[in-house]
Amino acid sequence: MKSLFTPLITLFLVACGGSVYDDAGYLICKTKEDCGTTRPNSLIPPASEKKFTNILENCKLHYPESQTKVPYGEFEGFATEYFYLENGAMTFQLNKTFDGKYRSELRQGPETNEWEASAKKAHTLKGSIKCYGSEKLTKYTFLQIHGNEDFSLPLLRMVWEKRHDGKTNHLWAVIMTSRSFDNKTYDWIDLGERKSEFVDLEVTVQKNHMHILFDNKTIDRNVSYWYDIKNYYKAGLYLSDKESRGITKVQFRELKYIGE
């Protein structure tokens, strides 16, 4: 039952290290740790885990916006407060303290690979992900299929939203259903309430077909309208709300690119 004193209760719970609720009384995080605020004392490079060799060889790291912070093949020994290894998981964490867009993302291509939806060979990003909530942030993106510079829009965004379409603390697959800068249309697919555990993730595009597996939910779409656009995968943490400030993180226990 919602309380008229929710804001006061929220402040009390946060101060005591307990659960975090939004102003309407909906649960956002079970603990402060579940809101992505914790960080290990020692920062370990993700490249020290051989299971991440594949994805790091196929990607560069963008931070804090679209700048290349770490080029392809240069991840050895690199760890920082926004990109590190924690309990065997590659971790992206951001503490946004100013207005603007902010990111810590792995970006595939163009130096290594860009691909078309119509390609005969499958292009797959596969892994195991844990999404965290946030006390103050309103949303974030953790995976994208993005068009290259010739058509720089995302076919797919996978996001956490604090509140969207009457639902709180849910994950969504946002699929662009048009091919126009002037008349953008999207389909929002509910992936369910965010879980405080790792779940399986797999996205495949092949022969104008997109297949998404998230946890136990499957999505299949004809994307023939996107057939000749050059694409690349992005994974990590992207804070697109310019005014929202706060902290959160996402973790990949496994992440691998399978393609040409």
What domains does the chain contain, in order, with CATH numbers? 1-31 (no CATH), 35-258 (2.60.120.200)
Count of all residues that appear for the chain in the document: 260
Place of tokens 């490249």: 47
Residues of the chain with pLDDT under 70: 1-17, 260
* pLDDT tens by residue, 168-226: 999 999 999 999 999 999 999 999 999 999 999 999 999 999 999 999 999 999 999 99
- Sign of the C-alpha dihedral, residues 52, 56, 59, 60? positive
Q: Are 104 and 237 in contact (CB under 8 A)?
A: yes
- Return the ∠ at Cα 82 (arms to 41 and 127), rounded to 5°: 100
The per-residue b/e assignment along 116-130, b for 16 or more CB within 10 angstroms, e otherwise, is: ebbbeeebbbbbbbb
The letter for the amino acid at 224 is: S
Q: What is the pLDDT at residue 17?
A: 52
In what helix (H) or strand (E) does residue 151 lie, and over which residues does it extend? none
**Non-local CB neighbours of 228 within 8 Å, separated by 6+ positions:** 116, 117, 118
Q: What is the pLDDT at residue 28?
A: 96
Distance CA 73, CA 219 (A): 33
DSSP-derived letter for residue 45 is: P
**Non-local CB neighbours of 60 within 8 Å, separated by 6+ positions:** 68, 69, 70, 71, 72, 106, 107, 111
Helices and strands per DSSP (H, E), number in the chain: 2, 18
Instruction: Give, in order, the Cα–Cα distances in Å from 223 to each of 12, 125, 229.
Output: 48, 17, 11
Q: Are 35 and 52 in contact (CB under 8 A)?
A: no
Cα atoms in the Cβ-side hemisphere of radius 13 Å centred on 82: 20
Residue 171, token pair as written in the block: 């994950």
Q: What is the pLDDT at residue 22?
A: 85
